[in-house]
């Protein structure tokens, strides 16, 4: 088995001529860091929940979600009308949503829930027992959307689009590393227009 230093040296010495000559691919503006297996152990604790199950495992445990997940069928959906199913300090559940609940290394969406009278900031979303639960900051008066209320759910599109671009770039990186070095992904992280992959 190669050491981390040997793998890094092999990667540096086997770059295609276009990269060695200074040619920059069109996606080269994106900062992506690469760590080899020995360096990735420190990140492993952050890739699972406290129970030790990954977010993907939680999603697969509840395939018949009661929240209609529009993000799963239309990655370009930015807004939708919805009805509040439940609301409390642990989060707000809607009958339908455009918020991606996170998974596969991609963070959850952020955005807003709006009515004609108020707006609430959504700081994230997660899958829980078949529902998508939105983490919502209370309004200045301390209120949350009431169950039964009609709201408009709107994601932060600039952030989501940056995450989509990063996600695609990391797939390209994984394919190149697999093709050229036979190394499998052992971990990673992504943020809008920045990412890290461990091999």
CB 93, CB 133: distance < 8 Å = yes
Q: What is the pLDDT of residue 55?
A: 36
CB 134, CB 99: distance < 8 Å = yes
SS3 85: strand
Cα 198 to Cα 19, 45, 189, distances in angstroms: 21, 14, 9
Q: What is the pLDDT of residue 35?
A: 52
Q: What is the pLDDT of residue 122?
A: 98
- The segment(s) of the chain belonging to CATH 2.40.30.130 are 62-155
Q: What is the pLDDT of residue 34?
A: 55
Q: What is the pLDDT of residue 63?
A: 45
SS3 71: helix
Task: Tell me the fold of 62-155.
Answer: Elongation Factor Tu (Ef-tu); domain 3 (2.40.30)
Please list, in sequence order, all residues whose beta carbon lies within 8 angstroms of the beta carbon of residue 5, skipping any fewer than 6 positions away.
Answer: none
| pLDDT tens, per residue, the chain with 199 residues | 444 455 444 444 444 433 334 444 444 555 555 554 444 333 333 333 333 333 333 333 334 448 999 999 999 999 999 999 999 999 999 999 999 999 888 899 999 999 999 999 999 999 998 899 999 999 999 999 999 999 999 999 999 999 999 999 999 999 999 999 999 999 888 999 999 999 9
Cα separation, 171 vs 163, in Å, equals: 12
Q: What is the pLDDT of residue 45?
A: 32
Q: What is the pLDDT of residue 146?
A: 96
């Amino acid at each position: 088995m190669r050491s981390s230093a040997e793998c890094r040296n092999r990667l540096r010495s086997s770059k295609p001529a276009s990269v060695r000559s200074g040619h920059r691919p069109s996606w080269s503006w994106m900062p992506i860091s690469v760590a080899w297996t020995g360096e990735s152990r420190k990140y492993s604790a952050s890739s699972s929940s406290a129970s030790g199950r990954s977010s993907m495992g939680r999603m697969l445990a509840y395939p018949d979600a009661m929240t209609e997940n529009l993000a799963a069928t239309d990655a370009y959906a930015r807004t939708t009308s919805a009805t509040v199913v439940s609301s409390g300090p642990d989060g707000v559940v809607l009958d339908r949503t455009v918020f991606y609940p996170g998974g596969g290394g991609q963070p959850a969406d952020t955005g807003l829930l709006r009515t004609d009278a108020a707006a609430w900031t959504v700081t994230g979303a997660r899958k829980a027992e078949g529902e998508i639960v939105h983490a919502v900051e209370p309004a200045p008066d301390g209120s949350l959307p009431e169950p039964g209320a009609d709201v408009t759910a709107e994601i932060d599109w600039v952030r989501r689009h940056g995450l989509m671009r990063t996600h695609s770039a990391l797939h390209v990186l994984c394919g190149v590393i697999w093709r050229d070095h036979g190394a499998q992904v052992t971990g990673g992280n992504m943020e809008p227009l920045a990412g890290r992959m461990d091999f």
